[in-house]
Each structure stands twice: as C-alpha cells, then as structure tokens.
Amino acid sequence: QLQLVESGGGLVQSGGSLRLSCVVSGRTFDAYAIGWFRQAPGKEREGIGCISKSGDSANYADSVKGRFTISRDNAKNTVYLQMNSLEPEDTGVYYCAGRRVLTSSWCSTSYGMDYWGKGTLVTVSS
C-alpha cells in the first residue's frame, strides 16, 4: 500500500499563488511517478501534471502550463504543486496519485494510477 496525503489547499484570490504538498508513505516512494489531478465542480477529473520518479521530468496539461510547477523531494517523500497566477477556473479538489513505473524519466496522467490521496480543496475567488 502507498498512502498519499495532500495539504495546502484553501481560498485565494485570482492572480494569487498556492503550494500544495503530497506526502507519501508506505512503500518505496522513489519507485513511483506522481501525478496531480483536479476535479472542478460539475466536471470530470482531469490530469494537470506529473513528475517522474527521478524528478528530472515533468509534464503539464495545456491549461496549467507556464503557471504550475511540480517538484519532488525524495528525501522527504513529498511532491509539491506550485500554483501561480491562479484563476477562478482552477477551483476544484486537487488529488495526487502514484503509479509504479520502471522508467526513471517518464510520467503520464493518461494511464491508470495505482494509489490516490483524498484530495484538498482549492478555491480561487474572482
């Protein structure tokens, strides 16, 4: 089992920033690529980005590219999602998820994830 716990959500004004954390425990953290997903009210969950298990490769959805940055600290078993220039459309519940991978520099949010956190709510006011 891999346990993931998100934190750092809250209420922020449009144009502001937040940093979410995803603390991972239970198994070998550095064997897992980590993805970030969000679900806006009334919409399906979408993948917004991911980071490889080595931390040297990250991918982003077009909707957040240039505004969001994913990083990881394998010594702390933590993945971060830095969100800048937030917009009301970024409002939603944000989830991190882990997928065990063989390739060090690969990640994707388009494939099934093995473990999920429970999410943290981000609300961006206009």
Q: What is the pLDDT of residues 95-106, one digit of tens each?
A: 999 999 999 899
> pLDDT grade, residue 93 (50/70/90)?
very high
Average pLDDT over residues 8-32: 95
Contacts of 30 (CB under 8 A, 6+ apart): 53, 54, 74
pLDDT, position 15: 98
Rounded Cα gap, residues 25 and 71, in angstroms: 17
Instruction: Note the pLDDT tens digit of each residue in 38-68.
Output: 999 999 999 999 999 999 999 999 999 999 9
pLDDT, position 1: 83
